[in-house]
Structures are given as C-alpha cells and as structure tokens.
Amino acid sequence: MTQQSTSLLVGLLAGISAALLLVSAGSPSSLSFILFAAAALPILIAGLGWSNLASIVAVASAMAVIGFVTTPQAALVSAVTTLAPAAWIAHLSNLARPAEEVGGPDGAVIWYPLSEIVVRIALCVCIGLVAVGLAMGYGTDFVSELVDIFVSSLKESNAGYQPTPDGIAEMKQFFLYALPAIQAAMWVLILLAGWYIASAIVRLSGRSKRPKDDIPSQLRMPRTGALALGAGVVMSFVGGGIGLIGWTICGAFGASFIVAGFAIAHHRTRGKPARGLVLWAAYLSTIIFTVPLAFFLFLGLFDTARTLTGTGSGPQSKP
C-alpha cells in the first residue's frame, strides 16, 4: 500500500471516528462532554502521524457522516469549531525549517514554535465561535430564552427557588457576556489538551515527526498574544456584537496566558524540595476558588517570549 493510499485510509477511519464521537455527544448523557472534547483527537492523530492529506480526508469524511446522520448545519458547525482547527494545528506542528535560517547550527532543524501553536489555537477558537454565534443569532433574545429555560428547570427541581424579576434580568445580562468568554476559554483548553494527548500517542507509535516539546520551559505566549488580549479587553467595553467578540477574544487568549502561567510555575519550581506540594496547592486552590487564575494570567502576561524547538534532523519544509 502506497503512502498516499495509507493516508486516505487513515483519514477516512479518523473522520468516521470523529463523527461518531460528535454525534454520540449530541445525545444527553454523563459522557457527552468527554465525547465532545475527544472528537478532535482522531483528526490530530491523523495529521500528526501521517500527513496533511490524512487530516483533510478526515475532516471531509467526518462532515459527510455528520451531515448525513444529523443536518448539514451541524456538520458545518463541527467543521468550524473542531475538525478544521484540529487539522490546522496538526499541520503547523509538523512544520520545520533549517536552523541556519534563524542563526542556528548547520544541519539542525527548528520546528514551528509552541507559543505560536497556542496563539493559532486561540485564534481558531475565536473565529469558530464568532462564526457560530453569527449563524445562530446569538444575542439578548437568545440568552433570554436560554436563561428562562434554565430558571424553569431550577424551579422544577427546587420549589423554593423563586428569583425576582431583577435577579433574572441580572442573570441574563451576566450570561450574555460570560458565555462567550467561558466557551472560548474551555475550547482553547480542550484543543490544547487534545494536541498534547495526540502528540503523546503519535510519539508512542513511533510516527511522530516533531520531537517532544518541553512545555514548562518553552510555553511562553508571544507579544502578539498580549496585543490580541488587549484588543479584546478594549472591545469588551463596547456594546453590541463588538463587545461580544471582545469577550470571546478575552476568554480564548486569557486561557492561553493562564496555561502559560502554569507552565512558568512548573518551570520555576523544578528541582525545589516542595515542588509537588506547591503545584498541588496551586491547582487545588484554582479549582476551589478560581481567584488564583488571575495570578497565573498575570504571570503569563509578564513573561512573554518566542521559544523554539530544535533537533538534529527532520524535514526541510518551511512554515
């Protein structure tokens, strides 16, 4: 079997797997979120371990299956939010260039920077969520209906819950801007975790082109990410659709800087006697109180860089 035919077969199987995960996630169950989050894995594995052709075929076949089983609109939403970003991330991860082009030693290879991969993940999330929001007509009416359904379900489960009209109005205003930010942050984390897991799986299989990134020492967001976050903050003070886009940008790039902040904490505690205790306390306090997220956000903001991963051999394609 030729390399091209292998890529076609792998892409077809990966696409069917991704489609089944997404369709299964549509049915209400306790595993829905896990299935939805894992849908990017087959696309990432196909692209990282085989070729761009495999990931493209995977995206196309997944869209075909989802469109046939559900609706074409669902297939398009899946492609914009999950399938296409996964294929793009896999493509970027396999890009490399000769090290001498950036002042490195002869014969070495520099891989696409991890920091830029994280920026592209955040950018893909922003574009995908904004496109879906425009298609769905996300706005005051949409959130109002959503909150009304949420409040009704709470009343059914708890008869003593009787919110005031002012309380419901405040809840609708909060969710209007909080949902884009929360969804963007969650989706950045999901795609980044998917990339990390898929990279580990491909390395274990021996098909990895890219060497393992030392995330604690290499994950530093570039200054372009800080500029994007600043633009999002400014836009968030504007009303209407621009404000909603701003909150989406804040959520996506804010989550990226928080992850970079945790990477810095891992790096700076290396070799310290109480490293395990400090890191566990950091993660536990974040989960319980969420306030420490601000500390890691600023830690990531105040340490920006563009780090490179280099090896002695590899493909000579340019990004």
The DSSP output letter for 102 is G
The pLDDT of residue 104 = 65
**Of 295, 264, 296, which is closest to residue 115 (Cα–Cα)?**
264
Last residue of one domain, picked from the residues 61, 93, 125: 93
Q: Kindly report whether the global pTM for this prediction surpasses the value 0.95.
A: no
232-250: average pLDDT: 93
Query: Residue 246 above 80 pLDDT?
Result: yes
Domain shared by 258 and 155, yes or no: yes
Contacts of 112 (CB under 8 A, 6+ apart): 92, 93, 94, 95, 96, 319
- Kindly state whether residues 34 and 134 are assigned to the same domain: no
Rounded to whole angstroms, what are the CA distances from 141 to 146, 162, 194, 238?
Answer: 9, 22, 34, 19
Q: Are residues 244 and 196 located together in one domain of the fold?
A: yes
Instruction: Band the pLDDT of 34: cuts 50, 70, 90.
Output: confident
Q: In the chain, pLDDT over 90 holds for what percent of residues?
A: 55
Cβ–Cβ < 8 Å for 180, 132: no
Q: Could you say which of 93, 118, 141 is where a domain stops? A: 93
Per-position DSSP letters for 196-248, written without gaps between them: HHHHHHHHHHT---SPPP-HHHH----HHHHHHHHHHHHHHTS-HHHHHHHHH
How is the chain split among helix, strand and coil, in percent rounded to 5? 75, 5, 25
Domain count, the chain: 2
Rounded CA gap, 143 and 316, in Å?
50
24 is in which domain, residue-wise? 1-93
- Rounded percentage of the chain residues whose pLDDT exceeds 70: 93
**What pLDDT was estimated at residue 225?**
92
Residues 252 and 313 in one domain: yes
Q: Is pLDDT above 80 for 315? A: no
- Identify the three-state secondary structure at position 110: strand
Q: Greater confidence, 166 or 44?
A: 44
**Domain co-membership, 36 together with 162:** no
Query: Does residue 183 sit in the same domain as residue 201?
Result: yes
Burial 6-24 (b: 16+ CB within 10 A, else e): ebbebbbbbbbbbbbbbbe
The span from the CA of 292 to the CA of 207, in Å, is 39
Same domain, 219 and 89: no
182 and 47 within one domain: no
More confident site: 139 or 196:
196
Residues 276 and 156 in one domain: yes
What are the pLDDT digits (tens) for 108-143? Answer: 788 899 999 999 999 999 999 999 998 888 888 888
Q: For strand 96-98 and strand 109-111, is the pairing parallel, antiparallel, or unpaired?
A: antiparallel
The whole-angstrom separation of Cα 193 and Cα 45 is 13
**Contact 94/300 with Cβ under 8 angstroms?**
no
63, 111: one domain: no
Q: Are residues 55 and 115 in the same domain?
A: no
Of 53, 77, 93, the last residue of a domain is: 93
